[in-house]
Structure 1
Amino acid sequence: MTNPAAPLSILHVIRQFLPNRGGLEDVAANLAREQARLGHRVRVVTLDRLFSEPDRRLPARERLESIDIERIPYVGSSRYPLAPSVFRHLDDADIVHVHAIDFFFDAFALAKPFHRRPMVVTTQGGFFHTPAHARLKALWFAGPTRVSVRAYEAVVACSESDARLFGPITPGGVTVIPNGVDLDKFAGAASPEPRRALLTLGRFSHNKRLDRLLATMQTLGPGWRLRICGVPYDVSAEALTGEIDRLGLTGSVTLHLGLDVPAIRDLIGQSSLFVSASEYEGFGLALIEALSAGLIPVAHPNDAFACFGEHHPSITLTDFADAPGAAAAIRGAYDRLESGAIVPGAEDLSEYRWSSVAARYVATYEAALARTRPVVAATAA
């Protein structure tokens, strides 16, 4: 893609960002980097405390990994943090890109008559990551979310499952742009020889169903190892350690907290299979990273993973609610790897490259701006 004649001033708004690590944070950071590389002015506004460390306040302004970050205070729950000072950070933004369906999404929609900025939102799974408070969530989605979505020039779903969810409440339709993935970060890092070693990657949250992975490990028995790599979220490291000890898995399951990329590559190099029992994913970034590394995925058939399974034949889908069945699926995937029936790294993942994804987002921004220009001109007249 060639740079547009006039570089855009892009403001990304996201509740958690660097130095926190997670799928949503990685997506926003990589998109911001690529847009800056294309010559756009890019800023990120986020909250000034990590939900995993609520007592530590981060710098109000910081530049990390070539990204300008502005952090603001909040009150209330991490589920719906209130941060009204976000409107002081609009500056000269041509476009506001909100990541996820939360306070920022609703607040920018409500204040649209005052700030008048063109807006794009990426759905990132909405707020249905767990079945908790399902009735309240359904009512909120049918009410406030349905109203808020009308204020956005573009609604971007990061998966087909998100498109099915948001399509019925979005008058102008939903654009599907799969999340980008840094395919070089872990490229070819998996163990060159098959090992009975599993790795799961992501934040420790209830929807990831790490408890079911542990039950599956019990069923697999001796000779298998599981490395759980990520950061605490609404499941603590202490709770996981206690459950590992209770199940007698201390010798075969290990936790690895907050590792940097080289350290994660080292763990991948000791592993052959990626496993995830997650019940809900907005996109499923870790699974694509696993494929790029040459790991063989065995995953729960949530909507996002089931969609990947239709396009990538090396993925094995199994219901992790059935520990014996999941264990059998893992053994089967390992046997196919060992026999050469599965070739690691053979999948075509080019559609997830950030250069392609960033270009599609910039095109979405420009279309949004084009739709608002006549309105601005009429208002000025």
Structure 2
Amino acid sequence: MKIIHIVRQFRPSVGGLEDYVENLAREQLAAGHRVLVITLDTDFQTDETLPARANYDGLEVQRVSWRFSRRYSLCRLDMATLNAVDIVHVHAIDFFVDYLAAMKRLGAFTAPLLVSTHGGFFHTAKNQRLKQLFFRTVTRATLSMADAVLSCSTNDQALFSSISKQAQLVNNGIRLRKFGALADVERGNDIVYLGRFSSNKRMPWLIQAYAALSNPRGKLKIIGRSKTGDTSTLVALIEQLGCADRVELVLDVGDDVIAHHLATARFTVSASEYEGFGLGVVELMSYGLVPLLCSAPPSFNDFVRDSQSGQLFDYQFQDFERAYERLIGQWNPSAANAAVLYAEQFSWVSVAQDIFSVYERVLASTSSRKGRAA
């Protein structure tokens, strides 16, 4: 099968969406399919303009120029290239989806179109009324042209099924123990955040909440790339609060350093107010890190409830402290094992097969429609 994945950002940019597309593409390559990733020619984390083509260990990448906004990047795609493949799979709800749906209406784009939701465009509260209007009008019309809509979480399924009969739940996949094996060392009570520093992650609040704990048992280690948010604000806040002894920023480090910090920790944390899923949390759960999560994202509630491991908190420092104390007091090897077992159900081997089953169903339906038309 010939497959094209289209995503706004890809390697060398790093993040949950980039990981998702690469892991899915590699599973498909390993299964013998021909795969191409189409993305923009700018790394938004560094502002670097990237070459038009790249090859990452056999995975072909084609980059296109763009204009207008990083959130809604306008560009042109070669319809002949897209029409020559079996499946075009677009990731996230942005210009690419609207553009290809319009081309489908005009008859210029004829390949089957699949869309993965990845949380839509509701990650922040900014312009919510305008977003809701766009979602109920343009996005509804756009998704009516898709052959399948893959909701990446129960939250996305509830959201997108309200505007698309095609929406179906196919949970995110994760790369289990993606940073390699951990050293066999004694774990302490450190708690790790790993991911972007975008505004929806509420990093300043998390630092303040941890700094306000009356009896922290270990360090909060915040690990990520400095280009993914306003890290200078986080540095200044730690200095202002005088909490450098309990909050540590770990920036721009390799997998071996990340693995070292995971090996000495027992917990993972996120104060994010919105998540399409929460890949980073489940990835760390695969190492046995027990989660301490904000209750705002529905998927975070699922993680704690379904794994029977971890604690939830609201946006109040006292509630955070109560949840933290329960987390520390209830930790045992069984809690860590429960986190691992929960994460394993999201293995890319099984998720890629679920997605491929959707591909096959779409192709069969498309062939049937063409047969009736003939």
- Letter of the 1:315 counterpart: G
CA contact (8 A) 1:188 1:292 kept: no
The 5 Å alignment of 1:8-157 reads 8-54=1-47, 56-85=48-77, 87=79, 89-90=81-82, 92-112=84-104, 113-157=107-151
Residue aligning to 1:368: 362
Stretch moving more, 15-24 or 321-330: 321-330
Stretch moving more, 363-372 or 24-33: 363-372
Residue 223 (structure 1) shift: 5.2
Residue aligning to 1:311: 306
Residue aligning to 1:195: 188
- CA root-mean-square deviation: 2.1
Q: CA separation in 2, counterparts of 1:196 and 1:23?
A: 26
Structure 1 residues 305 and 65 mapped into 2: Cα distance closer, same or farther (>3 Å)?
Answer: farther
Q: CA separation in 2, counterparts of 1:314 and 1:331?
A: 14
CA contact (8 A) 1:189 1:294 kept: no
Structure 1 residues 92 and 346 mapped into 2: Cα distance closer, same or farther (>3 Å)?
Answer: closer
- Letter of the 1:42 counterpart: V
Structure 1 residues 350 and 234 mapped into 2: Cα distance closer, same or farther (>3 Å)?
Answer: closer
CA contact (8 A) 1:45 1:86 kept: no
Residue 183 (structure 1) shift: 1.2
Residue 376 (structure 1) shift: 3.5
Structure 1 residues 118 and 357 mapped into 2: Cα distance closer, same or farther (>3 Å)?
Answer: same
Residue 188 (structure 1) shift: 6.7
Structure 1 residues 117 and 359 mapped into 2: Cα distance closer, same or farther (>3 Å)?
Answer: same
- Secondary structure at the aligned position of 1:129 is classed as coil
Sequence identity, in percent? 37
- Secondary structure at the aligned position of 2:4 is classed as strand
Structure 1 residues 223 and 305 mapped into 2: Cα distance closer, same or farther (>3 Å)?
Answer: closer
Residue aligning to 1:3: none
Residue 324 (structure 1) shift: 2.4
Query: What's the TM-score, normalizing by structure 2?
Result: 0.92
Residue 114 (structure 1) shift: 0.9
CA contact (8 A) 1:130 1:207 kept: yes
Which structure 1 segments of 5+ residues have no match? 1-7
Structure 1 residues 235 and 350 mapped into 2: Cα distance closer, same or farther (>3 Å)?
Answer: closer
CA contact (8 A) 2:287 2:340 kept: no
Q: How many residues align?
A: 369
Q: Deviations over 1:279-330 (max 9, x none)?
A: 11111111111111111110011111112222111121111x1122212212
CA contact (8 A) 2:170 2:351 kept: yes
CA contact (8 A) 1:194 1:334 kept: no
Q: CA separation in 2, counterparts of 1:37 and 1:123?
A: 24
Residue aligning to 2:198: 205
Q: CA separation in 1, counterparts of 2:336 and 2:322?
A: 20
Residue 341 (structure 1) shift: 6.5
Residue 23 (structure 1) shift: 0.8
CA contact (8 A) 1:46 1:72 kept: yes
Structure 1 residues 361 and 18 mapped into 2: Cα distance closer, same or farther (>3 Å)?
Answer: same
Structure 1 residues 340 and 93 mapped into 2: Cα distance closer, same or farther (>3 Å)?
Answer: closer
Which structure 2 segments of 5+ residues have no match? none
